Amino acid sequence: MSSLNEKLNKLREQTEDENSLDRIKDWEKQANEASVITHLLQFDGMKIFFATLEGKINAINRELMENPNLDETSRITMFARKDCYREVIKMFTDKQKLLENMEKNINEELKD
């Protein structure tokens, strides 16, 4: 993250346009948020948490495949839970991708 901040500072120094400065501020905010979230991914507790969610998703998939005669309400509930688990996982993994893309965009801006 510090290299990303350094690059943002360098980009800010090269920019005088108000719109570009606003965009850089927005990038800084997004980078700080994403950095905190991706930092959490390094902890064993979070790894266990994600493994648990993946296990629950697999259990739901198994239940749906093994019991094709489940009533519609049960199926809807199971799909809703599975979607929630996936969204929680996605919330973290998307932030990691955001940081990678942001760094790529900033590197391109610095080349110009």
The domain in which residue 74 lies consists of: 2-111
pTM, 2 dp: 0.69
Long-range contacts of 23-26 (CB under 8 A, 24+ apart): none
pLDDT in single tens digits along all 112 residues of the chain: 567 778 888 888 887 788 888 888 888 888 888 888 888 888 999 999 999 999 999 999 999 999 999 999 999 999 999 999 999 999 888 888 888 888 888 888 777 6
Residues 6+ apart with CB under 8 A from 109: 11
Number of domains into which the chain is organized = 1
